[in-house]
Structure 1
Amino acid sequence: MTTKPSVLFVCVHNAGRSQMAAGWLRHLAGDTVEVRSAGSEPAETINPAAVEAMHEVGIDITDQTPAELTWDTAQDSDVIITMGCGDACPVFPGKRYEDWKLDDPAGQGVDTARPIRDDIRARVEQLLISLPRPAGK
């Protein structure tokens, strides 16, 4: 493998869970992994409770914008992590898929987002261990 692996996090609104997961992976992996996130029905903005919860651990996700899941983005990703997007997530042969069962922080406060944030961190840490590394990394 000569290029870095790419991971796509997908949830319905791309405003909470997938944005927190992408934030954790960027924070923990640095530039060794290409990080993407998208939603089957993207929201207008990121969930403020997710932003606050991530800010509490020193990760700023305010520069991220909910994006629509596209066929090309999924096709170009090595690992696709779904978080409740159901049938809207395309399936490509040969891709690694994981479906993370996580509560949705939509419409909830930061007290609800914190345990979700912490659960996501643990899952991202395990994901990172399992990702292939480019030669020389």
Structure 2
Amino acid sequence: GLYSWETVTQLPATYAPKAKSHRPDCKFLTELTRLFQKCRLSGSVFITLKKYDGRTKPIPRKGSVEGFEPSDNKCLLRATDGKKKISTVVSSKEVNKFQMAYSNLLRANMDGLKKRDKKSKSKKSKAAQ
């Protein structure tokens, strides 16, 4: 037809994204940098990490047995600003290289944080009396 529709689906926590939707590590880091730059003045970037075994289908209920052997340990990283979502999978062989690049990226983009005002304990104790 004349119109093209994009479908966005919310998947339950037992689902992992399909392998084709993962970005290679360097592309993920550049997209993450763009997210940080976009949210520099206002907004937040949410990053989640979890263990990933390569499973793309939900875990079956008890009673049905599935022959699934997990591959080597992997880490699934997801980042979102509330609108755009990006994700990648880092294998155990690439962890050190990725972690160095990831920590440098975080260090470079964490400079815009505001310090929280610390309330002194003496004011709290006086208010309680």
TM over 0.5: no
In the superposition, the TM-score normalised over structure 2's length comes to 0.28
Larger-gyration structure (1/2): 2
Higher relative contact order (CA 8 A, sep 6+): 1
Point out the structure with the larger helix share: 1
